Chains A and B, each alone.
Chain A
Amino acid sequence: MIEAHRLSKTFYAPRSAPIEAVREVSLSVEAGEILGLLGPNGAGKTTLLRMLATILTPTSGSCRVCAVPVSESPQAARAKIGFLSGNTRLYGRLTPRELLRYFGRLYGMDRDTIADRTEALSAMLGMGEFLDRRCDTLSTGQTQRVSIARVILHDPPVLILDEPTLGLDIMSSRTILDFIREARGREHAIIFSTHYMTEAELLCDRIGLIHEGRIHAMDTPANLYARTHTDNLQDAFLAMIGAEPATAEAGPDVS
């Protein structure tokens, strides 16, 4: 569902050296699979996900979403993607129903479909009581549910989630994590980034350890422990980034 081949992104800024945020990253995610990207701040997680979500143009390399080449037809690719970032808030002056209508129109859905879908999502996520209140009056948990509804409104086969639980309390994170798990059950391909180790351990089928723009290892949690002779992700991560990148690149799951 998601295939990336040697993706790189270099940022040019005036009066400073170019920054290689992502270097030659290749990965793939299948339907019904959750890939977690784990890495410290500034590792390149956000840049990588933004490239997959077509928001940034790669400096080199290519990627395909549902077999659609992203660089050539970004708009077609976007229609297949649901993108959520942890620091995304909503339009405060709209109600959730209006917000969903607005985004539905942007996704090219007709009014009836949007209305039906809104009802369905409202029932699924329990948004009935605040569907017609302005978004700036909603609690964090309610806001998260509206955000999720916005992401899956057009029923995308691919979900790209950039630190979706960033800064949330336990209850709100729980909503998101349940949603991710549930989406896997419905055969979505999910890639998400986080720097919470436990979250990744609990959810992910495979984990990519990313540091300084490179993927140092990508494997199931169990295999990662075995390779690094550790019993938790934190130690595994530290062991990996201390290791030679060459061994990581030769890892079995880097496609």
Chain B
Amino acid sequence: MLRDRRTLIAMVAVPVLLYPVLFLVFSQVMIIQHERIERAPSKIALEGDEGLLRSWLEAVPRLEIEPSADPEEDLLRGRVHAVVRMEETAGAALEAGQTAGVTILYDAMEQASTQAATRIQEALDDKHEEFLETRVREAGLDPAYVRPLDIEQENAAPAAKTGGAILGMVLPVIMVLMLGVGAFYPAVDLTAGEKERGTFETLLSTPTSKLEIVAGKFLTVFCISLLTGLMNLASMLATFWIQIGQLDEELGGAEIHLSPVTGLIILAALIPLAFFISALMMSVAVFARSFREAQNFVTPFFVLITLPPALVALPGVTLSPGTQFLPIANVALLFKTLMTEPVAGDAMFAVFFSTGVYALLSLVLAAWIFQREDVVLSQQRGIPLTLRRANLTPEPTPTPGFALFLYGLAVLLLFYAGTYVQARNVFTGILITQWVLILLPVAFFLWYVRVDLKQALLLHLPRPGDLGVSLLITAAWILIIIQIGVWHEQLFPIPEELGQYMRSLFLIEETGVGVWALLFIIALSPAICEEVLHRGALLSGLRRVMPAWTAVIITGILFGLFHLSIHRLLLTTLSGILLGYLVWRNRSLITGVVVHFCINAAAVLAMTGHLPAFLRAYVEDGHIEEHGLPWPVFALAVAVFAAGLALMEWRARRDAGVSSQSPETSQTEA
């Protein structure tokens, strides 16, 4: 790609030259224009009591009085810039201590005329002050008496904020545009270009997998897009830094102060954004059969990606729970906000995580489209894609791409519908989220792509021994996680708002929801629905392409992220990994449901005070919240946990030994 001139121009030449030149030209023109008007004298004509006016205005710098027979005519023809008119009787009126009317005629459409009017106004204001002071003094009054209010306007914004606000408006639009510009040529060349050259089938005939091909292509597009973005960012910031000093005096002060942390956040946010844009652009371009057709497909896409940052540049649009999940717009808002103020942890998390999910979804889409031979090798007009269920091949488990798609879909539903319904009513909201937004789509799509549900979701009963060991591990884990939670709280205190929300769930008296209902809503529903998605679809999909341990850990992390809060990320991830491990070793999703239920139920019972009496007294005095568990209890929990894991591993090894001797028995067992 680097030998292609178009790529190089977009990636290097444009950013390096564009901003300095743009800025230089723009600022110089502005300064020159500004100075020209500042320096040029204003020609004015007088009307009425010319003698008195002349005596006032003659000495004012940059005001030139022109003789004129018809001042108004001269003003309209541009021979003078402004006309001052004062009645002949003005002198007498002033003498008598009365008011004399003065009119300034000017042409508001002419900058030079406005300038002249301002100069006259300033000179006459001074004269007015002079008269006022004399009269006040003659009347024997204090000058302060006639000036009850002394009003002044001052721009209190620090220079850095002004600079940041300017950059915050420009930066997001340009960044998104430039990531797109960078991705455009390689995305089109590596997809439609390959089709046009006929090299696609050559590539497909090499002993590489389609996934490798799409990964290679995607990484190329992504890298060039990101590099273009970085080059633009660097050039834009450098230009601002160097040039803004010049504007300083003219425009009343603007500076750029970017802390290294802000800089790093912006860089970090560019990565998922470039990822998202590149993958999306490739997915669009691959449908085209030729370079030209791809350009037609991709161009409207540019409008789509630059519109959100342009809209959020409007004043008053801020990063809020309503905007933090909007694709592209949220990153633009993050940039904009970061330029002037720090951003809260959870909002930042929401932006990064949602952008990551969009990136993931678009990459899955690209990979999926690439594996469709009807799209990649098609010479037909239009979009050659059929999605009829009857044409799909049945599969035992979902493909990893499809599993990730389901996860992304659930997260999107959670972002938009989930947060909305939960904000209206917490309990019905959670129920709707779990059953309608998570379980229903996952089950439907798994059915639609003809996956063997029983095998993909491991819908068999666990062996009693396995379940027993799992429950032992779970009991120990609940104690361990309480202790980790205490440590976590000490290091990163949970914001008061979130803590209050969590507690409000369990105030039985106020909400009127009984403990059984709470167990159903908060413990059983998530146990079933979240397990089907994570330990069901996701784990079985990922395990097709990676070792079980890796799949368990990735599933755990995705499960942690799924809870949409940076403060709960660690605890939910750890529990997620444990759940994945137990489901894998038990070869049953039922174990996952039971264990998930136990963990959530323990929280419900503890928070609502439904614990055995001896524990209750202990929990309720707040001792645990402050100091954690007594260390012998914690040590015992860790020991039981470790022993449980060892036992589970031993059982698994023993079974593996048995199954390698007689594969048939192990299959019936599984």
Taking Cβ atoms with an 8 Å cutoff, the residues of A that contact B are 11-14, 50, 53-57, 75-76, 78-79, 81, 83-85, 87-94, 103, 106-108, 150
Contacts and interface: CB of A to CB of B under 8 A. Distances in A.
Given A55-B373, A55-B377, A12 B202 contact: no
Contact-size category for B? 20 to 34
Contacts of A103: 206
10 A-B pairs with the lowest CB-CB distances in the bound complex, closest first: A83-B205, A106-B206, A78-B207, A88-B198, A79-B207, A93-B3, A87-B198, A75-B207, A12-B386, A89-B197
Interface string B361-402: 000000000000110010010011110100100000000000
10 contacts: A13-B384, A55-B201, A55-B373, A75-B209, A83-B205, A85-B198, A89-B197, A90-B197, A91-B199, A92-B197
Given A12-B388, A50-B377, A88 B201 contact: yes
B198 A107 contact: no
B3 A85 contact: no
B246 to A, nearest CB: 42
A11 B386 CA distance: 10
Interface in B200-232: 201-209
Interface in B378-435: 380, 383-386, 388, 391
A90 B386 contact: no
Interface string B187-200: 00000000001110
A41 B380 CA distance: 15
B384 A14 contact: yes
Q: Which secondary structure dominates chain B's binding surface?
A: loop
Nearest to B206: A106
Given A12-B388, A13-B374, A78-B207, A150 B380 contact: no
A75 B384 CA distance: 26
B202 A88 contact: yes
Contacts of A88: 197-199, 201-202
A169 to B, nearest CB: 18
Contacts of B205: 53-55, 78, 81, 83
A91 B386 CA distance: 31
Contacts of B391: 12
A66 to B, nearest CB: 13
B4 interface: yes
Contacts of B206: 78, 103, 106-107
Interface string B40-74: 00000000000000000000000000000000000
Contacts of A54: 205
B291 to A, nearest CB: 12
B4 to A, nearest CB: 6
Contacts of B208: 75, 106
A76 to B, nearest CB: 7
B216 to A, nearest CB: 10
A59 B202 CA distance: 22
Contacts of A14: 383-386
A14 B372 CA distance: 14
A10 to B, nearest CB: 9
A87 B198 CA distance: 6
Given A13-B386, A14-B385, A83 B207 contact: no
A56 B371 CA distance: 10
B201 to A, nearest CB: 5
A193 to B, nearest CB: 14
Nearest to B194: A91
B385 A108 contact: no
A50 B208 CA distance: 16
B201 A89 contact: no
Given A12-B391, A55-B205, A88-B198, 12 more contacts: A12-B388, A13-B384, A13-B386, A50-B201, A50-B377, A75-B209, A76-B207, A78-B206, A81-B205, A89-B197, A92-B197, A108-B207
Given A55-B373, A76-B207, A89 B199 contact: yes
Given A78-B206, A106-B207, A13 B201 contact: no
A88 B196 CA distance: 9
Given A13-B386, A75-B209, A55 B204 contact: yes
Contacts of A81: 205
Contacts of B3: 93-94
A56 B3 CA distance: 32
A90 B199 CA distance: 7
A145 to B, nearest CB: 16
A83 B202 contact: yes
Nearest to A87: B198
B378 to A, nearest CB: 9
A56 B198 CA distance: 15
A38 B223 CA distance: 46
Given A12-B388, A57-B373, A85 B207 contact: no
A50 B206 CA distance: 13
A91 B197 contact: yes
Nearest to B203: A106
Nearest to A147: B202
Contacts of B204: 55
Contacts of B377: 50, 55-56
Contacts of A78: 205-207
A83 B374 contact: no
A34 to B, nearest CB: 19
Interface in B1-16: 3-4
A18 to B, nearest CB: 8
B487 to A, nearest CB: 49
B195 to A, nearest CB: 11
Contacts of A93: 3-4
Nearest to A75: B207
Contacts of A150: 202
A85 B386 contact: no
A107 B202 CA distance: 12
A94 B383 CA distance: 31
